[in-house]
Structure 1
Amino acid sequence: MGQILDRSFADATNTKNNQSIIFLFRFVYHLFHVLIIVVTKVSDISQLPPELALEILKNLNATDLCLASCVWQTLANDEILWLGLCKSIWRYVSIYKRAHHEGISFRKIYLQLDEGTLRFNAGEGLKYFIENKLLDDTCEEISKFIHNTRKLHATEKRKLLKERRDVLERLIELQSYENQFLPNALRQFFAKLDAPEERNEYLSILIENFSKRFYECNKDLGLSIETIYVLCFSLILLSIDLTSPHIKNKMSKREFIRNTRRAIINGTLSDELAGHFYDNIYLIGHVARSTTIAR
């Protein structure tokens, strides 16, 4: 292996503009020798230098990190490692701000957050998080928690937001749609807040709040909140029309432009912009991919 690398390195030095190749071969060459030294001189992995052990532990998930504590008990319980694991799933939780002051380990916090998430997804809501003082029971803290958490089940999250309209409104305020094309912003919105499976009051509330937020982020577009609201429903209906296998006679671009302009009463919409909306749905697909909002 060493002879091959040496020969390849020598060949590379004879070519022009090969600085990156030289660097790569040097790196691989030295890495190879380091590994040889580690394998031959360290018979017990617990004898590895702490710096190298930490680099290994950084790449482990929570389960593997717990197992690694059998070898590196102190290092595997490192607070920075467990804080990183916590924030990889729950980027914001109230307990983070007071964990150090109260002497709570992030390993314990991770296990509690994991348990709370399982209970939330099983239909118990935020009860576990609040009772165990992981999450403050305020609109702001709950909104930030939901906004920054990846593992919450969409259906259970929808149930919570139906009950806590204050949290829903604040959660939408935390979204940013600046300089985004309206259909793409809707996709981002529904990716964060799962849409209901049918048209109902909750969908209207979602679109109403989204329209306000999109307007605040893009006032220079010249579209009113009412116009954005109408456009959102037009895009949802167009998405259903173009993507549903049960609809054989698809809406044409001309029909979409005509129908949408008729629906907008107190506002204007250019044919060009409406045409771009149609093209976006036609080429990219549904604005709420994971849902099937009925007509």
Structure 2
Amino acid sequence: MGQGLWRVARNQQLQQEGYSEHGYLTREQSRRMAASSISSTSHRKQVQGGIDLYHLLKARKSKEQEGFINLEKLPPELSFTILSYLNATDLCLASCVWQDLANDELLWQGLCKSTWGHCSIYNKNPPLGFSFRKLYMQLDEGSLTFNANPDEGVNYFMSKGILDDSPKEIAKFIFCTRTLNWKKLRIYLDERRDVLDDLVTLHNFRNQFLPNALREFFRHIHAPEERGEYLETLITKFSHRFCACNPDLTRELGLSPDAVYVLCYSLILLSIDLTSPHVKNKMSKREFIRNTRRAAQNISEDFVGHLYDNIYLIGHVAA
């Protein structure tokens, strides 16, 4: 046992001094072998690093060769299709690279008409020096002015020849535009009832269920936050327009403008009752039918029940 331990200790000492079990190595040979091993390892790392660097440079070079697609080398219809997906800001930036393409009148005409669907100037012979890019800037400026002061905004459009001084033209512009602030628009329509009358006639409620038609109406002409004369005016105008668009339906159901007026008020009250978190005891379907038929006796219970279901499932009519 003691001899075995002695051999192990002796072998470890010989290895440290440059010996091995099979022969003798000088310290110089040991150093050369170690240096050779280190050099080989270093060479492998350099080779590996060289391969990685080569692939990196190759990939970078290929990306530089690819770059951005040059739209001027594509067919014009394809280039215009690509640029048509850009908004006004991005199209202005694209004009720094592809000036002729990005400044094309058809692109800016599409931007104008997709944002402001109707302007009086669209139906006129364009004046000298007219461009749709300039028109877009004027329309954007006029919309911002309207959202600050509606009267000044409309006057700006008229001063630039964009809109004619006509209630019908103003109503068409409002109906086809979604960039106007609804609070300012509500104030403007309350003051300009002539524009409001023409705006109501632009709605088509044919074959629409009453609550859905009322929602569409209030999406364009926002209801006031409180009850009052303006809300009564809106509901009255809506009732007459709804009956005018659905003469057969109103005859079959026994509806009249007065009956639709009552139903609209009932739908608004029901919407508040069902959606308000402050009302704990919600109105039941039976209660709604009973209360509504007291005001509109000629309306069937089934129709009133469908009205309740619509508000219960879809939500507020004036949200």
TM-score scaled to structure 1, two decimals? Answer: 0.80
Across the aligned residues of Structure 1 and Structure 2, the Cα RMSD in angstroms comes to 2.0
What letter is aligned with 1:236? I
Question: Segments of 4+ in structure 1 off by > 4 A?
Answer: 39-44
Matched, 1:244 2:276: yes
Q: Distance in 1 between matches of 2:311 and 2:117?
A: 32
Secondary structure class of the residue paired with 2:126: helix
Distance 1:228 1:193, change over 3 A: same
Q: Distance in 2 between matches of 1:204 and 1:66?
A: 46
Matches of residues 6-17 of structure 1 in structure 2 within 5 Å? none
Distance 1:95 1:185, change over 3 A: same
Q: Distance in 2 between matches of 1:43 and 1:275?
A: 61
**The structure with more radius of gyration:** 2
Matched, 1:275 2:301: no
Q: Distance in 1 between matches of 2:210 and 2:72?
A: 57
- Given that residues 172 and 213 in structure 1 are in contact (C-alpha distance below 8 angstroms), is that contact kept between their aligned partners in structure 2? yes
C-alpha deviation, 1:103, in angstroms: 4.2
What letter is aligned with 1:232? C
Matched, 1:45 2:70: yes
Q: Deviations over 1:173-210 (max 9, x none)?
A: 00011100001111111111111000010000000000
- Given that residues 46 and 71 in structure 1 are in contact (C-alpha distance below 8 angstroms), is that contact kept between their aligned partners in structure 2? no
C-alpha deviation, 1:41, in angstroms: 7.8
Q: Which runs of 5+ in 2 are unaligned?
A: 1-63
- Given that residues 42 and 48 in structure 1 are in contact (C-alpha distance below 8 angstroms), is that contact kept between their aligned partners in structure 2? no
- Name 1:26's counterpart in structure 2: none
C-alpha deviation, 1:229, in angstroms: 0.6
Find 1:226's aligned residue among 258, 277, 282: 258
What letter is aligned with 2:179? K
Q: How much identity, in percent, do the aligned residues show?
A: 60
Moved more, 55-64 or 195-204: 55-64
- Name 2:184's counterpart in structure 1: 156
Matches of residues 1-295 of structure 1 in structure 2 within 5 Å? 45=70, 47-51=72-76, 52-98=78-124, 100-125=126-151, 126-221=154-249, 222=251, 223-264=255-296, 268-289=298-319
Q: Distance in 2 between matches of 1:281 and 1:109?
A: 43
TM-score scaled to structure 2, two decimals? Answer: 0.75
Secondary structure class of the residue paired with 1:100: coil
Moved more, 71-80 or 40-49: 40-49
Distance 1:200 1:46, change over 3 A: same
Secondary structure class of the residue paired with 1:249: coil
- Given that residues 130 and 137 in structure 1 are in contact (C-alpha distance below 8 angstroms), is that contact kept between their aligned partners in structure 2? yes
- Given that residues 72 and 79 in structure 2 are in contact (C-alpha distance below 8 angstroms), is that contact kept between their aligned partners in structure 1? no
Q: Distance in 2 between matches of 1:202 and 1:281?
A: 23
Moved more, 140-149 or 92-101: 92-101
Moved more, 47-56 or 102-111: 47-56
Distance 1:43 1:199, change over 3 A: closer
Secondary structure class of the residue paired with 1:170: helix
